Chains A and B, each alone.
Chain A
Amino acid sequence: METVTLTIKNQPGLYLEADSITPDAFAGKKAEEIAALPVYVGREEHRLGDFFEVSGKAGATPEETKIIVNGDLSRVKYIGMKMTAGEVVVNGNADMYVGAWMQGGRITVNGNVDAFAGTGMKGGELLIKGNAGNYLGAAYRGDWRGMTGGKIVVSGNAGSDLGTFMNGGEIIVGGDVDVHVATHAEGGKIVIKGNAKSRLGGQMVEGEIYVFGTIDVMMPGFAYRKDVDIEVDGTKGRFALYEGDLGERHRKRKGQAIYGKLYQRVEA
């Protein structure tokens, strides 16, 4: 695997839209060619090399390409957008849409990310060592087709509206989350190892939510069914199982309605 290292040298005055920072766009290119890829500040087109020092070279294919991005990237959007393979390591905080619509490969962020990370994700792995902003693994605004595959792991906390319209895949949050979890979900799995606030599973039709800590306010559309002993992401424990959202229409399998499932740990 070949490695390309990008180090930010000029901070953009506004925000940099850099959806060209992907193994797919870099594959088969030398440093000078990578530096010539387009990036945008508002309506102005610039070169990637105007903002980043580029060294190394890319592999022949996305699979054989690793990208390391260094520096303060808190004004850089769309890192790893739509990537299909390869690896991206971000050493610093990144702005919105990290790994949005990604289909494969792996992104590791050694820092925090802003909103919309993993939006519409279809596959691959997105590892965030710090905190995530709002709309983690959510659908794009207005769309009813959210995350369908892949795995997002956040070591710290996540903001509000994670997994909106989720249809598949997995989101694991090591810390706490803000309001609105798996709103409108029709599949997928969300694990919250810390505490949650309120509005978990609103208008949820299918899928699973696991909460290890407290829930401030439970949705009225969820009903307690029973306690179950299960293992979640390597942790065994007893969980209270709730089903909902009872206010929604639900698909049936063999005459039985399928509900969204919300598990809250009652004892370790």
Chain B
Amino acid sequence: MAEYLIKNGFVFDPVLGIKGDATDIAIKDGKIVETTAIRSPKIIDATGKTVLAGGVDVHAHVAGPKVNIGRNFRPEDKLFTYKPGRGIERMQGGFSVPTVIRTGYNYARMGYTTVMEAAMPPLYARHTHEEMRDTPILDQGAFPVFGNNWFVLEYLKNHEIENTVAYIAWLLRATKGYAVKVVNPGGTEAWAWGLNCENIHDPVPYFDITPAQIVKGLIEANEYLGLPHSMHVHANNLGNPGNYTTTLDTFKLSEGIKPNSKFGRDQVMHHTHVQFHSYGGDSWANVESKAKEIMDYVNSHDNITIDMGQVTLDETTTMTADGPFEHHLTELNHLKWANADVELETGSGVVPYIYSPSIKVCAIQWCIGLELALLAKDPMRVFMTTDHPNAGPFIRYPRIMKWLMSREAREQQFDAFKHKDKVIDATNLAGIDRELDLYEIAQMTRAGPAKALGLAHMYGGLAPGLDADVAVFDFNPNEPYAPDDIEKAFGNARHLFKTGVQVISDHEVVSNGNKRTLWVNARVNENPQVMRDVKEKFLRYYTVTLNNYEVTGHHYLPNPYVIEVDATE
């Protein structure tokens, strides 16, 4: 493979501890190497530019059936957004629920090279993998959802951790999944009965287990297996005024549990899109930010990580396996609603949503997301996301960088709010002076998420031995700049390397890359009971047979990257 030397750029890299010093980065055989290890490299002059590792998105909805429901029932989202194919680029379309082709290219343009699909219904794992397969450039993995799964509910109710572990290992293999995802634990199953679980002690109908038992049991199972990533949770009571107490209660379920993983992560719980879970008040009239209370907890407990779920003030498409929440949302905004049930496993809902700067609640949500990041003491544990597309499309990451890096940009946005004074009263943001630097941004978007995913040995930095995922941006941090220059530069990478292949050259996509699908093969002791239960449930309840369920073969994963975990005794 070609050798490259990216010369003299301002490098920001938490792994090497470089904070903007002009540094040369060498690439050989798909890896970062010492500059002395290359002989006749192609020189990329990065003088006056910023160099970062490829971005890592810990949580986005970019592939699978509910994304496709969004695409199908929102043709208006694609109106006037089509771009014909040109050169290596294939035809693209869509805004908040773009085609997979556009998903790959748009992430690449922002300098991202790894994106995790945050909720894969196991029954539709095949569809999810087909979409990831067709997403160019990006390395991807998908998190199967476990928090409303009948096997898990039954095993955990009976305190059968070893059976839970064996089932998780089987399902990760069957679906080629990456991590244990939990969405509204118990609540989505309750929704199949027309109910919900509104706090962590609200029992699930029929199964008679609480969300607290589900979350705690899955953390224990996750650590028993020693998976690369921790249990990844979207807690109960999302999006409701006063829900921050449920969030804190959920956080506390991680207390006293230590990580057991050889992959270098320090957390046992990742709580996602915390913005949606940090509301005070008891109605939409008096909803207020509880980001401070949330971050006080996060800052003082190092066994949890979170991501923002930043509202971007766009028209978007909300979609989640949290079925009851989407019903709640369509009752609020009276826009169209889609609902799906996934047999023994999960469900989902989809509703379009307009986050308007003229609506007080939307502006408060915008403040809360930014507060989470700006109140973070350790940027290695607080990651930038929009819970794409729920709080906004991922293409707004450069705009979020602008808001985080510039108080002036935040003030401009405050001035554009219709209810500016009420918003300031209900939030903390106006009193926060902090402006993040690119080193902290690199922690929140590269090194931090890579470490939390257990992928610090591949991604997130520019140290020799890591994958050569490197982005070069037209941004000189040492010269004066306007806030909008940040958004412009980081939305349009000048160069991007993905595993040593140059995929963007002078802002043009020049290669569809060498996309890989990551999955975790966890080996456990043979467990005849679980295999008997699986066979029985497929015979009795599932509409498909096991043969039509498992994800196998080249068709679904033409370029797999398997991470082996041995939990046998």
Contacts and interface: CB of A to CB of B under 8 A. Distances in A.
Contacts of B75: 140-143
A10 to B, nearest CB: 22
A45 B86 CA distance: 12
Interface residues of B, number: 12
Interface string B320-341: 0000000000000011100000
Contacts of A144: 335-336
A249 B334 CA distance: 9
B73 A142 contact: yes
Nearest to B334: A249
Residue in A45, A142, A144 whose Cβ sees the most chain B Cβ within 10 Å:
A142
Contacts of B564: none
A43 B73 contact: no
Nearest to A43: B84
B76 A142 contact: yes
Contacts of A249: 334
B79 interface: yes
Nearest to A82: B80
Nearest to B336: A144
A200 to B, nearest CB: 22
Among the interface residues B74, B76, B84, B334, which one has the most CB atoms of the partner chain A within 10 A? B76
Contacts of B336: 144
Interface residues of A, number: 8
B334 A140 contact: no
B334 A143 contact: no
A43 B93 CA distance: 14
A43 B92 CA distance: 13
Residue in A45, A140, A143, A249 whose Cβ sees the most chain B Cβ within 10 Å: A143
Interface in B139-181: none
A238 B77 CA distance: 44
Interface string A122-148: 000000000000000000111110000
B334 A142 contact: no
Contact of B76 (A43, A45, A141): A141
Contacts of A45: 84
A43 B75 CA distance: 19
Contacts of A142: 73-77
B76 A140 contact: yes
A247 B75 CA distance: 26
B112 to A, nearest CB: 28
A140 B79 contact: yes
Contacts of A43: 84-85, 91
Contacts of B79: 140, 143
Nearest to A45: B84
Interface string A213-247: 00000000000000000000000000000000000
A249 B335 CA distance: 12
Contacts of B85: 43
A92 B336 CA distance: 39
Nearest to B335: A144
Contacts of A140: 75-76, 79
Contacts of B73: 142
A143 B84 contact: no
Interface in B45-79: 73-77, 79
Interface string A144-170: 100000000000000000000000000
A208 B152 CA distance: 55
Contacts of B91: 43
A144 B75 CA distance: 11
B470 to A, nearest CB: 34
A140 to B, nearest CB: 5
Interface of A: 43, 45, 140-144, 249
Q: Which 7 A-B pairs have the closest CB atoms?
A: A143-B76, A142-B75, A142-B76, A141-B75, A140-B76, A142-B74, A43-B84
20 contacts: A43-B84, A43-B85, A43-B91, A45-B84, A140-B75, A140-B76, A140-B79, A141-B75, A141-B76, A142-B73, A142-B74, A142-B75, A142-B76, A142-B77, A143-B75, A143-B76, A143-B79, A144-B335, A144-B336, A249-B334
Given A140-B79, A141-B76, A142-B73, 14 more contacts: A43-B84, A43-B91, A45-B84, A140-B75, A140-B76, A141-B75, A142-B74, A142-B75, A142-B76, A142-B77, A143-B75, A143-B79, A144-B335, A249-B334
